[in-house]
Amino acid sequence: MQTPYYLIDKSCLLRNLEKISWLREASGVKCLLALKCFATWSVFDFMAEHMDGSTSSSLYEVRLGREKFPGETHAYSVAYADHEIAQVLAYSDKIIFNSIGQLAKFNDASQGHVRGLRVNPGVSTSEFDLADPARPFSRLGEHDPAKIAAVADQISGLMFHNNCENDSFARFDEMLTLIEDRFGAIIHKMAWISLGGGIHFTGADYPLENLALRLKEFSQKFGVQVYLEPGEAAITGAATLEVTVLDTMHNGKNLAIVDSSIEAHLLDLLIYREPAKIAPNTGAHEWMICGKSCLAGDIFGEFLFDAPLKAGDRLSFQDTAGYTMVKKNWFNGVKMPSIAIRELDGTTRLVRDFDYDDFAAALS
Ligand SMILES: Cc1ncc(COP(=O)(O)O)c(C=O)c1O
């Protein structure tokens, strides 16, 4: 198969999905895939065997969820436009408004639909200002309990999303207690609560049993159906980006240029200034792996290898499913990676290729 391509490995995906299934069973929570993180729909049927549906951040995502992901379809957006609302309602089972203003604006249009409101508890676990929903002056959800209480009779659920790559159960527990203390009276009036995504409960050492107990206790205390919206936790470790070295140079360091681009194919890493991952990253030869776009800083990172790299060598970037394929772009006209799936029996099939026509069609 010609590189570059993203390779989704179903057996790695299954490891996460089995943990999700266990959590659902043990705690009664429903788990919805957050399409903003991963929207590669060729594996949605497979994922849906272990999940309850999907959640979205726009009209197009909610439509994709309805059309491709079996189960419940939640709609959320930071703001809906007038011309979007009828379709959003048609494609969704529940709509979650980001503000009391949007709830009021679309009150008539959404009568009879299951409605919720996003609440911002003012705390989060994000280490990055850019991704912190609780950053100062945040627009992500309503924060004032009195104002939320005043519209509680118009909604049946609340959505909190304040965990970000949180692998600490203790911190999750602490923040949930804070939510209970601050918003408990309103939660008692609700039928369902979504606790959003960002909980790294599929990680190797995560105390899944403690999480299950805590969620079950929360659900029973308030008499609510609890939802989680895992993105990253559902797909972590499930895909690689396969590339080939095209050229090597030396300029104080060993440089290898590959047939991909961090700017175009792993953009999230560039935004958060994180290196890509290569395994095992051991050996005596250190190389800087660079993208083929003209951006000077199009650099995947510096890694160790057993032997010097040369044109034609194949490399594999690890853990490239989340916030990557959804953000790929046509910068520099670099060939967009194809998408391949490794089945449970080990066979690999190509599910999507992109060519010049796709590049030209992205603009006009
Ligand atoms: C509302 C909401 N739900 C779910 C998610 C998924 O988060 P993660 O991929 O970290 O699990 C996000 C991520 O930004 C989000 O904003």
Same domain, 166 and 39: yes
Ligand 1 closest atom vs CA 233: 11
Residue 200 near residue 191 (C-beta atoms within 8 A):
no
Cα gap 70→45, rounded to integer Å: 7
Place of tokens 């199009």: 298
Two tokens, residue 265: 């194919």
In a domain, residue 1? The reply is no
Report pLDDT for 275. 97
Query: Which residues, in sequence order, are bridge partners of residue 33?
Result: 54
- Measure Cα distances from 306 to 165, 246, 309, 311 in Å: 32, 19, 9, 16
Mean pLDDT, residues 272-285 taken together: 97
- For β-strands 53-55 and 72-76, DSSP reports them as parallel
CA 62 to ligand 1 center in whole angstroms: 15
* Per-residue model confidence as pLDDT tens digits over 100-155: 999 999 999 999 999 999 999 999 998 889 999 999 999 999 999 999 999 999 99
DSSP of 168-217: -HHHHHHHHHHHHHHHHHHHTT-SEEE--S-B-TTSTT--HHHHHHHHHH
* CATH number of domain containing 108: 3.20.20.10
Report pLDDT for 358. 98
Report pLDDT for 124. 92
Cα gap 292→270, rounded to integer Å: 15
Two tokens, residue 248: 């090597």
Which domain range does residue 177 map to? 10-234
What does pTM read for this prediction?
Answer: 0.97
Mean pLDDT, residues 248-271 taken together: 98
Same domain, 30 and 140: yes
The dihedral built from the CA positions of residue 120, 195, 320 and 341, taken in this order, carries a sign that is negative
CA 228 to ligand 1 center in whole angstroms: 9
- Number of neighbours of residue 185 by Cβ within 10 angstroms: 11
Same domain, 37 and 160: yes
The end-to-end CA distance of the chain, in Å, is 30
Ligand 1 pocket residue status of 197, Cβ below 6 Å: yes
* CATH number of domain containing 280: 2.40.37.10
Using CB atoms within 10 Å of the CB of residue 235, give its burial: 0 to 12 exposed, 13 to 18 middle, 19+ buried. buried
According to the annotation, is 229 in a ligand binding site? no
CA 197 to ligand 1 center in whole angstroms: 4
Two tokens, residue 242: 């396969």
Report the interhelical angle of 169-187 vs 208-222 (nearest 10°). 10
Same domain, 230 and 244: no
Ligand 1 closest atom vs CA 234: 11
Residue 22: pLDDT band with limits 50, 70, 90: very high
Ligand 1 closest atom vs CA 118: 1
Choosing from 210, 234, 258, the residue where a domain stops is 234
> In this structure, which residue's CA is closest to atom 5 in ligand 1?
197
DSSP H stretches of helix in the chain? 10-27, 44-48, 59-68, 85-91, 100-105, 145-150, 169-187, 208-222, 232-235, 262-265, 267-271, 356-361
Same domain, 188 and 270: no
Ligand 1 pocket residue status of 161, Cβ below 6 Å: yes
Same domain, 340 and 271: yes
In a domain, residue 160? The reply is yes
Two tokens, residue 54: 């999907």
According to the annotation, is 61 in a ligand binding site? no
* Per-residue model confidence as pLDDT tens digits over 148-166: 999 999 999 999 999 999 9
> In this structure, which residue's CA is closest to atom 2 in ligand 1?
196
In a domain, residue 2? The reply is no
Mean pLDDT, residues 263-275 taken together: 97
Cβ within 8 Å of residue 47, ≥6 positions away: 13, 17, 33, 69, 234
CA 219 to ligand 1 center in whole angstroms: 21
DSSP 117: E
Choosing from 185, 200, 234, the residue where a domain stops is 234
Same domain, 208 and 286: no
CA 196 to ligand 1 center in whole angstroms: 6
Residue 222 near residue 190 (C-beta atoms within 8 A):
yes
Q: H or E stretch including 42?
A: none
Domain count across the chain: 2
Q: What is the 3-state secondary structure (H, E, C) of 15-27?
A: HHHHHHHHHHHHH
Same domain, 47 and 114: yes
Same domain, 223 and 79: yes
* 116: phi then psi, degrees, rounded to nearest 5: -140, 175
Ligand 1 closest atom vs CA 165: 10
Report pLDDT for 126. 86
Ligand 1 pocket residue status of 37, Cβ below 6 Å: yes
Same domain, 227 and 243: no
Report pLDDT for 127. 84
> In this structure, which residue's CA is closest to atom 7 in ligand 1?
197
Mean pLDDT, residues 294-315 taken together: 98
* Per-residue model confidence as pLDDT tens digits over 70-98: 999 999 999 999 999 999 999 999 999 99
Two tokens, residue 50: 């272990």
Two tokens, residue 178: 């804070």
Average pLDDT, the chain: 97
Residue 63 near residue 90 (C-beta atoms within 8 A):
no
- For β-strands 114-119 and 94-97, DSSP reports them as parallel
Mean pLDDT, residues 188-199 taken together: 98
Same domain, 117 and 36: yes
Same domain, 273 and 181: no
Mean pLDDT, residues 322-328 taken together: 98
